[in-house]
Amino acid sequence: MSSPPTAVSGSSPPASSSAPPPPTAAANRSTPVTKPATPEEKRPARRVPRGVRRVAGPVGLVAVWFLASTTGLLPESVLASPIDVVQRAVDLTGTGELPHAIAASGRRAATGFLIGAVVALALSLAAGLFRLGEDVIDASMGMFRAIPWVGLIPLFIVWFGIDETPKIALVALGVTYPLYFNIYGGIRSADAQLIEAGRMLGLGRIGLIRYVILPSALPGALVGLRYALSTAWLALVFAEQINADAGIGYLMSNAQQYFQTDVIVLCLAVYAVLGLLCDFAVRLLSRRLLAWRASFEGEGE
């Protein structure tokens, strides 16, 4: 608060903002425009490297968690301490349970993602490039999207049983929507002027698709990919609650039966790390594929 010294005693904002008293106006007229800087403003800001700043938040949270656990503020029956979680991670890695579970879950996620991606790509290309495809596909996709895909679990169990199939199907379904809508939107946002220029340059239908329409859709497709990957992990968490006999979800439901909060937290952390890795991969991919695009990187340091 840098409210100017006024005759009004109350420093509540409404009083000073509603009617600036005469002394302020006089001061504004007489004083030079350059306001003397406060000490903080004058001192050159100490630069904390960006990487450190980004890490500070998560590290701080873990520190608070650690302190709360060691002081007994946070009982183990509610949430195990980070030390226990790490210890458990080491143990389970030693026995091979954790790598095995990650492999099983990863396989499910990858298979489901691939199926969903292929379906989404085929549908979005058909709907984006052909009027007939648009009429047939897009309306249906809009309709199906209104159904929360998690709600389909009972139906999938009825259809596919309780093995791998319903789990993979759920991941595939979760992946399909974000990819479809983003690619389709990207294709449809292709600049008509560039298409006209392409035709003028002698590009045929295939050439237009390859050099004008698909590159236009790329930024949208990558956004869709990010959504799709996060949805894939989310779908996996739901899917693995269905009678899993392997995988991270299986570890988790076992732990739930024995109140092992450390294992539950460990599994959540594994989901998080896998999600972050995927996100990182997509970001790298975007940086490579969208190098041509002027993008806004945020202001400040």
Residue in 45, 58, 291, 300 binding other proteins, rule: CB under 8 A: 291
Q: Which is nearer to other proteins, 185 or 215 (CB)?
A: 215
Q: Which is nearer to other proteins, 194 or 246 (CB)?
A: 194
Contact 198, 211 (CB under 8 A): yes
- Helix ranges, 149-292 (H): 153-160, 164-188, 192-200, 205-208, 214-239, 248-257, 261-289
Q: Binding-site residue total for other proteins (CB under 8 A)?
A: 19
Q: Which is nearer to other proteins, 172 or 221 (CB)?
A: 221
| Alpha-carbon separation of residue 170 from 102, 174, 226, 237 (angstroms) | 18, 6, 17, 10
Here the tokens at position 140 are 């249906």
Here the tokens at position 161 are 């049983």
Shortest Cβ distance from residue 5 to other proteins (Å)?
A: 49
Contact 188, 129 (CB under 8 A): no
Shortest Cβ distance from residue 233 to other proteins (Å)?
A: 30
Shortest Cβ distance from residue 145 to other proteins (Å)?
A: 29
Q: Cα–chain-centroid distance for residue 123?
A: 24
**Torsion sign over Cα 168, 172, 175, 177:** negative
Q: Which is nearer to other proteins, 116 or 220 (CB)?
A: 220
Here the tokens at position 265 are 């937290």
Shortest Cβ distance from residue 300 to other proteins (Å)?
A: 23
Q: Which is nearer to other proteins, 52 or 197 (CB)?
A: 197
Shortest Cβ distance from residue 297 to other proteins (Å)?
A: 14
Looking only at residues 194 through 223 of this chain, which bind other proteins when binding is defined by CB under 8 A? 194, 196-203, 207, 211-212, 215, 218
x/- mask, other proteins, residues 141-180, rule CB under 8 A, reads: ----------------------------------------
**Site membership for other proteins, residue 1 (CB under 8 A):** no
User: What is 260-287 written as a DSSP string?
Assistant: -HHHHHHHHHHHHHHHHHHHHHHHHHHH
Residue in 57, 193, 206, 245 binding other proteins, rule: CB under 8 A: 193
Closest CA to 270 of 114, 85, 119, 52: 85
Region binding other proteins by CB under 8 A among candidate stretches 59-67, 113-121, 148-156, 188-196: 188-196
Q: Which is nearer to other proteins, 201 or 273 (CB)?
A: 201
Shortest Cβ distance from residue 202 to other proteins (Å)?
A: 4
Contacts 24+ apart (CB under 8 A), 126-129: 127/180, 127/184, 128/183, 128/184, 128/186, 128/187, 128/188, 128/213, 128/217, 129/187, 129/209, 129/213
Region binding other proteins by CB under 8 A among candidate stretches 39-47, 65-73, 111-119, 290-298: 290-298
Residues that bind other proteins (CB under 8 A): 193-194, 196-203, 207, 211-212, 215, 218, 291-294
